[in-house]
Structure 1
Amino acid sequence: MTQSPATPLPAPKERRRLREGRSLTQAEVATRLGVSRSTVRSWESGRSAPRGRMREAYTRLLMSDPSAARPEVTAPQEDVTPELVGAGTGGETPAGTGKKGSARVGRRPGRNRAEGRLAAGVPTEEWLVEDAHAGLSEPSLTPAQAFDALYAFCAPALVRQTYLLTGRRELARESVERAFQQAWYRWPEVAVDRDPAGWVRATAYEYALSPWHRLRPRYRHPEAPPAGAADRALLDVLLELPPVYRRTLLLFDGVGLGLPETAAETEASTPAAANRVLHAREAVAERLPELASPEDLHRRLTELASAERLRAAKPRTVRWHGERRAQQWTRAAIAFTVLLIGVTVLTLGTAPDHYEEPLAPPETIHGLPPKAAPGPLSAAELKLRARLRSQEMHGPERLIPESR
């Protein structure tokens, strides 16, 4: 479903001849498709071949008319086709979106051209270089327009992919919206990325597979399964796979990424990604033998994602919620900083400003007689007091009272 039968891929030697006939270098082809020069060299030598929508874009580039100065670019609108691979590799063009998926607009050629490049995954700085060489006078896309074009191209298919990854409809929509909100918050970084669609897809997958969702009350209970028995069986098999195997299988057999791109997005080596794909295919084929072929598996994944009526929010709504969330986080950070400063000032005002030596611990003294408690005199003490009172006073005159 990712390649049109009307545009077959030429032979390796024919690819080089077609490229040279269009006066293109390998570096220029790599730049237009968003891949490396070594990848184009491998395609022309026959060591490898593009897959998925990258194959379609490469074939169109080679088979296009070399006399055409600038082919007209279609501006992607709201994607309503049930394609699973709508948010594929960054070097892909939004081909196969159907009659309602694109519309030709002739009044603003500069905007159509920029939107087509964004949907094709061409980096933003390359738009500026190309427009500077062409001497264009049309105004470029604003950040909001570029974001809306990326959202319209990627969001519908990305919601379906995330649903296959999690099995939850609401979580799929929430993950895609959060990913695009982060993309809008970090738009200066995303706009110059070589693969903005891949950036958003990786962010959505990471959020969807977060283990913290199981602690949320709304996600403790399973959602209603698909209506068809075959769809339920396939979804159950996918959800039984480990998350990293499920993600690798979806990227390779569902989206149609190449093995190196799949390994890079899952942060694994190429052999590790290949082993994950093989083990995931074996697990699916063991439960569903009719899906042992990768082509059949890709077709069934697309049909399963298309069977659910999953709609993404409007790009303007996503941008508004993203800006509001950023404002809330900014206000929370400011409030926390003010609170921290207040606590610090209070601590400095009430804390002692000089050192006070602590008191020594008490020690017990031994050998002293116990202190006598007051009480009645004993017989010996009474006798001593009577004898002292009966004797005359002897001492200095100033101390002896005189009798009068």
Structure 2
Amino acid sequence: MVSNKVRTLLTVLGIAIGISSVIIVYSAGEGILGLLVNQLQSFGTNIIETEVKVPTAKKGTSGETDSAMAIASGVQVTSLTLKDLEDVKKLSNISGGYGAVLSQEKVSYGNESRKTFIFGTNADYAQIDKMEIAQGTFFSDEDDQGLSQVVVLGSKMKDKLFGDSEAIGKYITLRKSKFKVIGVAKSKGAVMGMDFDDYIYVPIRTLQKKIMGIDYLMYMVHEFKDVSVVADTGEEIKYIMRRNHDITDPAKDDFRVSTMEDMMKMLDMVTNVITWLLLAIVVISLIVGGVGILNVMYVIVSERTAEIGLRKAVGANYSSIMTQFLVEAVLITMVGAVLGIIVGVLVSWLISVGATAAGFHWIFSVPLKAFAVSLIFAFACGIFFGVYPAKRAANMDPIEALRKE
């Protein structure tokens, strides 16, 4: 093995790269999950969301098609209404709620003009989603009921339209109509790709009737009081929705009710799927490293033919020769594994430092299973790719081996 330093070093390096990738993938998965969970929790943990979905009419199916699939297929469910919102708010365990509608419109002020997202919602939104107002105020129920043409700007949108100038009391133009700026929100950041700082917030009825010409919601969120009975509250919401939508068969529900716990489980599942997909790619690099082990061990066996012949001539049996070369193969992979773990942990830490410096809530964490998987992979790789050269060495005829030398 010493005489093949370059080959051995390259093989160790290949294994180290594969193992460090395993550590980084697991750590990044933990970091991303923590980031997304923190972003979701910034909206409150005591919320229950009702969103639209496309019911499935086919027999033998669960009756469920999620919203993403509905959007992709061009199907639009328009059955969720403000009546649903208000009826759910009457439940004893519900303290408030808001509906949501999203539109993309051209907005202008003076010489500044741009296309942006208009978020229609109710007065309860600011309290439930923990929106803080930097200047002015959020709109009221009276503004919503009266179809007032008022807006609250996200912090980035305020800067884009007004720069350093005062925005409160000024009028912006939406669909050729004037809307008065009554508030500017504090920066909240992006959540799962949606930058709420770049939004314009409008009373939901104003957006529905004066801009979009619709009467439905995209989703609604309610805040509950007692988490111990949230499951019962969810069932009560389903009962109200089915009653309002004339649904008798749960398989034909055109809505989905989810708690924050449900959303966390979904995030965890998605993160695990992504992690395993990335690990599948990493395995390829480990296989490449394994091929390197096969090559190095094959050369080592060839160069040590005389030694093998001599050992067998003095009584070394099949298993001892086999064990010797398997141990050497495993030793190479384990050295690569240790080096890879050190590099992987260091790179993962640097990623967390960089993400934190960039303003993300990124927790540095490497789960124990990452170390276990790394060591098991390395050990298995050494055994699997080392077994053929070891068998070749163990099967050598001592006379033929000594004669070749």
Q: Same fold (TM over 0.5)?
A: no
Which one has a bigger Cα radius of gyration? 1
The one of the two structures with greater contact order (alpha-carbon pairs below 8 A, sep at least 6) is 2
TM-score (norm 2): 0.24
TM-score (norm 1): 0.24
Higher strand proportion: 2
